[in-house]
Amino acid sequence: MLSAAERRLDRNLPLLNYYSMLRGCLFILPVLAPFVHDRLRLDFFHLMLSEAIFAAAVVICEVPSGWLADVWRRVDVLRVSACLSLAAVILIWVADGFWVFALGQVVMGISISLQSGADSALLYDSLQARARATRFLPLEARRGGLALVVTALAALVGGLLYQLNPLLLWAADSIAAAAAIAIACFLTEPPRQRLSGHSRAFPKVFRAVAESFQTAPLLYGLIVAIAAVFAVTKIVLFLTQAFYMAYALPLAWFGPLAAGFFAVSALGGFLASWVRERLSLANFLTLLLLLLVLMMIGVVVIDRLQALPLLFLAGLIFGIVRPVGVTEINHRVSSEYRATVLLIAGLIYQISFIVVAPMAGFAASQWGPTWALGGTVLICLPFGLGAAWQGYQANRREAMKADCHRVGLPTMLAPPSTNDRYHLNQGEK
């Protein structure tokens, strides 16, 4: 029979699903471009600029919030995050100009930075406390997939609510944020290895995290590759609305099409574990980059309304890459600093978006969304390919070591990895 503590830890699994689903209820998302255009009288460049400001807020708060989640109780961090989300919804809807709207984006960015990494770390710690850490990838992928399903349903409803009355959209977003606060209050903090008093100082945490990157060199390539994919897929999410407006689609189609985009993303989340089990990490990243290039070529060549289904490939890729990235990082980092490293990864993802988003917004305003999409993919592609190459090199080293071990040769005959060189240097010191 399970103890009360074990039942509370098991309860975290469905509660985290509900929390993520409610945070994914973004009713305004499918009509954000029309909302900014109609209510605030701003163009697509200002929308992408506000999104870059949102990402900048995430970047500024990303590492401190990860450190806070490692030092403080993770459930309390998630509760504060949900409260800030409600405040952001109110600010966005009372905005009458760019700067108040941007302030709402800043508050939402702080909320997302507090949630990002803390929820995944809480799930992993809850499973680890019950000796079930091997179940993390399918459960994390399922949680992400469920959140995207709800986002798709919210997008479907959001377009209809916006047509009926924009205030209905505001009420729906507010109710979802308030419900997330209520769910967060029932989460339980699992027992875990905590930072001791002498190691809580932020510089010491930073040095320990730096050592994590040195002892797990694939983290560099993994995070850079996912950052490239993240920038493209997130920009495509907003460019779809620019395509709809450029092709003069009726507003009634915005919601269903956005719902389809997120439904495809949810499918990607459910497929993530299946795809990763059948491919090496390097092949996995290369496949995602190849799909993005094919999407860009198809949209540029066709350049008509019929090309819109190709944009849904970005949604599929986004759904696949997130849980795999989180899982690979979790397997390579100690629980003491897991949330911090996850949030450093999130910081790099957001920086990639900050750099590319204003350029994409400007290109879409000046030359149309097709050119904006092509430029975005071409800018991000070299970074992703470089990271995939690093993965191939790591796979080659591991294969050579395995061959040496099989035939009885010393593994030092294989080319040393960054991890090997790090430990050699530490031994020399």
**377/23: higher pLDDT:** 23
Q: In this predicted model, what pLDDT tens digit does every residue of 336-366 receive, in sequence order?
A: 666 667 767 777 777 888 888 888 888 888 8
Nearest CA to 55 among 183, 238, 190? 238
What is the rounded distance in angstroms from the CA atom of residue 166 to the CA atom of residue 162?
Answer: 5
Q: What is the pLDDT of residue 201?
A: 53
CATH number of 13-190+206-410: 1.20.1250.20
Please count the residues of the chain: 429
What is the rounded distance in angstroms from the CA atom of residue 296 to the CA atom of residue 312?
Answer: 11
Report residue 426's pLDDT band, with 50, 70 and 90 as the boundaries. very low
Give yes or no for a contact between 419 and 215, defined as CB atoms under 8 angstroms apart.
yes
User: Per the confidence metrics, is the pTM higher than 0.85?
Assistant: no
Q: In this predicted model, what pLDDT tens digit does every residue of 103-128 receive, in sequence order?
A: 999 999 999 888 877 888 888 888 88
Residue boundaries of the structural domains of the chain: 13-190+206-410
Q: Work out the angle at residue 150's Cα, subtended by the Cα atoms of residues 129 and 182, and round it to the nearest 5 degrees.
A: 55
The dihedral sign for the CA sequence 303, 308, 309, 312:
positive
